[in-house]
Amino acid sequence: MVPRLASVLFLLMMLGLAWTQSLDLDFNCDTFVATNAVVDPAVSNSQIGGAVTIHDGTLTGNIRNFEFAIDGRFTINSTTATLSGQLRPSGATSLAHGYYFVLNMNLAPDASGRNMLNAGVSVDQSSWMFFSIAAPSYLIGYGDFNSAGPISINQLVTSLPFQIGLGANGKNLHLGASVAIDITAGPYHVTGDVNIDLACDLAVHESSSSSSYELPSSSDDDSGVFCPADIFECPDGSSVGRDPNSN
């Protein structure tokens, strides 16, 4: 009886693993947790250091690598998708300084991807999905990175959209995503990269009602920081989207 029980448990475990993977690989999952993609030296020599990397530190006081302070969120809703999160400098422990980050995207079914892993490491791009960055997509700085309003984000190369799939983040063979971005703030014009791991958020994906975020009207927390209404919590922990003129 014991060997038979062990066999049944093993079979159930394998079925559970296959079901979980199918949620990711088939994109039946509509809500994902987004985290920094960690370099696997066996398949990638990437030197990119964060979930979001800004190549020129002009806008950021020479800080180039940013991570999600709290896990980011990636949602798919039929032909649109949104990646959002609160970014802080990589290795920082405080939430006092950073950026609100939102990418809104539209499905790009005819696009093709690029394998950014080491030469000789192959990936099946036929299972990847692609989304083109759309407006409004932006950074909003707070604390030391305080910005008067949204900093626009666009897709750097039209033919290279946001790509999602196994190995798509260019750092490892996990389910992940990446895209090269163009950031414009007044006279400043810099480029960057997004490289993330994705995992289906099984707790919420069935009830998710993901949709493209509209650029919120500004509201301020007690420190005067621009805080997007209804998307993020203000850096000081105050209520989301509070009317700055209210008492």
What tokens does 39 get? 């370099």
Q: What is the pLDDT of residue 29?
A: 86
Please report, in angstroms and rounded to a whole number, the separation of the first and last CA atoms in the chain: 70
Q: Note the pLDDT of residue 69.
A: 87
The CB density around residue 74, as the number of other CB atoms within 10 Å, is: 27
pLDDT digits 0-9 by tens, 121-164: 999 999 899 999 999 999 998 888 887 778 999 999 999 999 99
pLDDT at position 143, please?
A: 87
Nearest alpha carbon to residue 161 among 137, 187, 188? 137
In the structure encoding, which two tokens stand for residue 79, read together?
């032909």
> What is the pLDDT at residue 21?
37
What's the CA gap between 244 and 232, in Å, rounded? Answer: 16
Q: How far apart are CA 170 and CA 116, in angstroms?
A: 5
Q: Model confidence at 40, in pLDDT bands (50, 70, 90)?
A: very high
Q: What is the pLDDT of residues 187-223, one digit of tens each?
A: 888 999 999 999 998 776 555 444 433 333 334 443 4
Percent of the chain with pLDDT over 70: 71
Higher-scoring residue by pLDDT: 137, 56: 137
Longest CA span, the chain? 74
Closest CA to 210 of 68, 24, 80, 71: 80
Which residue in the block uniquely carries the two structure tokens 């970014």? 87
Give the pLDDT confidence score for residue 27 in this predicted structure: 58
Higher pLDDT, 29 or 3: 29
Count of residues in the chain: 247
Predicted confidence at residue 205, as pLDDT, reads 52
Average pLDDT for the chain:
77
Which pLDDT score is estimated for 25?
46
Residue 50: the pLDDT is 85
For residue 247, pLDDT beyond 90: no
Q: What is the pTM of this model?
A: 0.75
**Between the CA atoms of 200, 123, 48 and 33, what dihedral angle is there, to the nearest 10 degrees?**
0
pLDDT > 90: what percent of the chain? Answer: 47
Inter-residue contact 180 to 192 (CB < 8 Å): yes
The tokens 């960690």 sit on which residue? 38
pLDDT digits (tens, 9 = 90+) for 215-226: 333 344 434 444
Structure tokens at 34: 């987004």
The predicted structure's pLDDT at residue 48: 72
How much is the pLDDT for 236?
Answer: 46
Q: What digits encode the pLDDT tens for the residues 62-117?
A: 888 999 988 899 999 889 999 999 999 998 888 888 999 999 999 999 999 999 99
